[in-house]
Amino acid sequence: MASHIVGYPRMGPKRELKFALESFWDKKSSAEDLQKVAADLRSSIWKQMSDAGIKYIPSNTFSYYDQVLDATSMLGAVPPRYGWSGGEIGFDTYFSMARGNASVPAMEMTKWFDTNYHFIVPELGPDVNFSYASHKAVDEYKEAKALGVNTVPVLIGPVSYLLLSKPAKGVDKTFSLLSLLPKILPIYKEVISDLKAAGASWIQFDEPTLVLDLDSHKLQAFTAAYDDLESSLSGLNVLIETYFADLTAEAYKTLIGLKGVTAYGLDLVRGAQTLDLVKSNFPKGKYLFAGVVDGRNIWANDLAASLSTLKELEAVVGKENLVVSTSCSLLHTAVDLVNETKLDDEIKSWLAFAAQKVVEVNALAKALAGQKDEAFFSANAAAQASRKSSPRVTNEAVQKAAAALKGSDHRRATNVSARLDAQQKKLDLPILPTTTIGSFPQTLELRRVRREFKANKISEDDYIKAIKEEIKKVVDLQEELDIDVLVHGEPERNDMVEYFGEQLSGFAFTVNGWVQSYGSRCVKPPIIYGDVSRPKPMTVFWSSTAQSMTARPMKGMLTGPVTILNWSFVRNDQPRFETCYQIALAIKDEVEDLEKAGINVIQIDEAALREGLPLRKSEHAFYLKWAVHSFRITNCGVQDTTQIHTHMCYSNFNDIIHSIIDMDADVITIENSRSDEKLLSVFREGVKYGAGIGPGVYDIHSPRIPSTEEIADRINKMLAVLETNILWVNPDCGLKTRKYAEVKPALNNMVAAAKLLRTQLASAK
């Protein structure tokens, strides 16, 4: 019985790639140094899977930034602004597309389906001259083969690539991206030909867009694409991999009807209903790559339940045609539980990171083949039972409080217009008030202080003194720049979710449980294993300290319940909304304590609200109802004069704008600049928004410093569709990943642009 892994984490068990990338970007190391680190990581990953007994090992899932950008490079679809003149795409062009450079901005970045991973959105149009410009897929296959590992090269499928793209600037928004299929398929054929010549016997096309709600025209594009590729694929075994949700009956019918395809990869964790489609109709002689091991979470697999499912499938597809697989790439989980030295043994027994999931996949395959490791299965069953019965999982008081939430929609008593009037009387802000999103640069010295405090190398008094000094520096800088509503810079926080999780009950934390978010950016998601509550105030001391340093309004900075949920590894033994309501009650306690401490502006970030939106439209309404309700619970008890902000970043918001309005925040700051002001289109189309709103005026994920004129131009575009009295001026997101040498001039130009527009508006009256 065979086993397969869809994909594997790239950063390395100790974030080796992250540090190599940042060293290269800072010109502290060479391209050769970066390539050496990457090659060593790839080699160790392939060896690990080979040693574990995995038969179908992926290659070309490693990336220096993201796999969609790799496909853009393979197709030579470089936007003209990057000055690429042809030939093999090198690091300069590749990273300019991802991060921008001194003269041109980066391409748009957005969330990868409903995950916290991001991808660079291809910009396409009728005039793009596609060419085979990156041989990475073939090079990595050859690299693995030279190490004695015969891999399955993985490519983003041609239809998903186009469906994940957008019309380039200047191209009509109604342009059919699928009309480019005849232009990109010849490149795919060249890649396939090279892979065959190199000795590949299998190839994997990731076509995750098949799980979306697709009309017949889009489904037909899959049929047309693989009809065209059929002769090129002759002699290869072809796997079409889907993940993250169920397939509709129409999509499943399209999938199993594709020509030249040998095998189908299905997510049977998040797409459990697809099982019924397989049982009712599976093509004879084809392979099913059954994704029964969860690639999106860190809980140990229930091996007995998975084995039962696999035996049902075996009866349908045949013993020789069933392959045990992960539900999706393991990119979305942490690397190796072996590196966790501080988790207690009980919780550790409940978990499986990527390395352990590889072992689980192979154990299931062997059990299906009659070689069951009884000791391994017995230990797994004991861990499953331990988790169900552990008293640390359940808190009756929390469950009772969450149950009592039913029957109220938890809205503030006064409408937003009246609240804004009351807040303006108290805060006395100018028109186009300026602010930032929360974090300021996290310097090496600041990281050292936090690290040493955690390691008990400095005293609590020394730690508090150092953090206070950092806050004072950030406050003084903002006053010097003449920013209107200040933040304390979050120097006490390494991560916006981890910080809160560490202070809430029901959470566990890892030492090296890093997961890639984008580029070199890694996050360490908390593990929610039990009922959630807040034992004591979390931010009041730091916010009060910062407010005492200035007469200007100081924002209290919190992470919202939906974002904490979506950016954590969440318990899978109760519905997600129940966990979210518990977190909302904990944040509500914090909001009310901040208000009592004299904090008049409180930001409750919901950066990941859109991210959790189910991929099926039929499931949107239920999710948005409980997600928006959770946010309202957090601030329903504050006074009218307390201004509630929220922040959202890097997703497509236009389709949920009415739910965003229903959150009933006083002010929302939201990503806008990197997506070509896509957000503004909803207001052009007549959506009325009465609360304060700050569409980001510059992209903080790029080192590029925008000019005053450029920012003023963006603000003018906003003023064309938004009322002057509700518009705020702010960056797209927090500044923690930037350097002060970039932040100071960018914020200076932002404030100058706001003042320029204030003067122009005053003179126009």
Residue 409, pLDDT above cutoff 90: no
Q: Which of 50-59, 156-165, 214-223, 601-610 is the least confident region?
A: 601-610
Query: Is 560 part of any known ligand binding site?
Result: no
State the CATH number of the domain containing residue 485: 3.20.20.210
Q: pLDDT confidence of 764, banded at 50, 70, 90?
A: confident
Positive or negative, the Cα torsion across 221, 227, 231, 235? Answer: positive
Query: Is 726 part of any known ligand binding site?
Result: no
Residue 209, pLDDT above cutoff 60: yes
Query: Is 636 part of any known ligand binding site?
Result: no
CB-based contacts of 421: which residues, under 8 Å, 6+ apart?
Answer: none
Of 498, 485, 472, 488, which Cα lies nearest the Cα of 433?
Answer: 485
Residue 536, pLDDT above cutoff 80: yes
Query: Is 505 part of any known ligand binding site?
Result: no
The string of pLDDT tens digits covering residues 678-726 is 667 777 676 788 899 998 999 887 888 999 999 999 999 999 888 999 9
Residue 182 domain-assigned (yes or no) = no
Between CA 176 and CA 178 the distance in angstroms is: 5
Residue 180, pLDDT above cutoff 70: yes
Q: pLDDT confidence of 4, banded at 50, 70, 90?
A: very high
Residue 629 domain-assigned (yes or no) = yes
In the set 4, 332, 645, 701, the catalytic residue is 701
The string of pLDDT tens digits covering residues 253-286 is 999 999 999 999 999 999 988 999 999 999 999 9
Query: Is 606 part of any known ligand binding site?
Result: no
Q: pLDDT confidence of 651, banded at 50, 70, 90?
A: low
Query: Is 328 part of any known ligand binding site?
Result: no
pLDDT, position 279: 94
Task: Decide: residue 102, CB within 10 A, 0-12 exposed, 13-18 middle, 19+ buried.
Answer: exposed
Query: Is 50 part of any known ligand binding site?
Result: no
Positive or negative, the Cα torsion across 357, 358, 364, 370? Answer: negative
Is 410 in the active site?
Answer: no
The count of domains in the chain is 1
Q: Give the residues across from 558 on adjacent strands.
A: 604
CA distances from 757 to 238, 729, 763 (A): 58, 11, 10
Cβ atoms within 10 Å of 658's Cβ, excluding its own: 11
pLDDT, position 681: 74
Residue 458 domain-assigned (yes or no) = yes
Residue 451 domain-assigned (yes or no) = yes
Mean predicted confidence (pLDDT) in 143-148? 98
Query: Is 733 part of any known ligand binding site?
Result: yes
Query: Is 514 part of any known ligand binding site?
Result: no
Query: Is 406 part of any known ligand binding site?
Result: no
pLDDT, position 652: 63
306 token code pair? 């998975």
Query: Is 344 part of any known ligand binding site?
Result: no
Q: Phi then psi for 710, rounded to 5 degrees? A: -65, -45
Residue 404 domain-assigned (yes or no) = no
CA distances from 216 to 69, 213, 221, 254, 350 (A): 27, 10, 9, 10, 43
Residue 684 domain-assigned (yes or no) = yes
pLDDT, position 702: 83
Q: Indicate the average pLDDT of the chain.
A: 95
Q: pLDDT confidence of 653, banded at 50, 70, 90?
A: low
Mean predicted confidence (pLDDT) in 404-423? 93
Residue 69 domain-assigned (yes or no) = no
Query: Is 452 part of any known ligand binding site?
Result: no
Residue 676, pLDDT above cutoff 60: no
The string of pLDDT tens digits covering residues 323-335 is 999 999 999 999 9
pLDDT, position 431: 97
The string of pLDDT tens digits covering residues 78-107 is 999 999 999 999 999 999 999 999 889 999
The string of pLDDT tens digits covering residues 488-520 is 999 998 877 888 989 999 999 999 999 999 999
pLDDT above 90 as % of the chain: 88
Residue 349 domain-assigned (yes or no) = no
Q: Could you list the residue range(s) of the whole structural domain that residue 425 is in?
A: 414-695+715-734
Cβ atoms within 10 Å of 344's Cβ, excluding its own: 9
pLDDT, position 648: 87
Mean predicted confidence (pLDDT) in 329-356? 96
Between CA 76 and CA 56 the distance in angstroms is: 29
Of 7, 99, 24, 77, which Cα lies nearest the Cα of 519?
Answer: 99
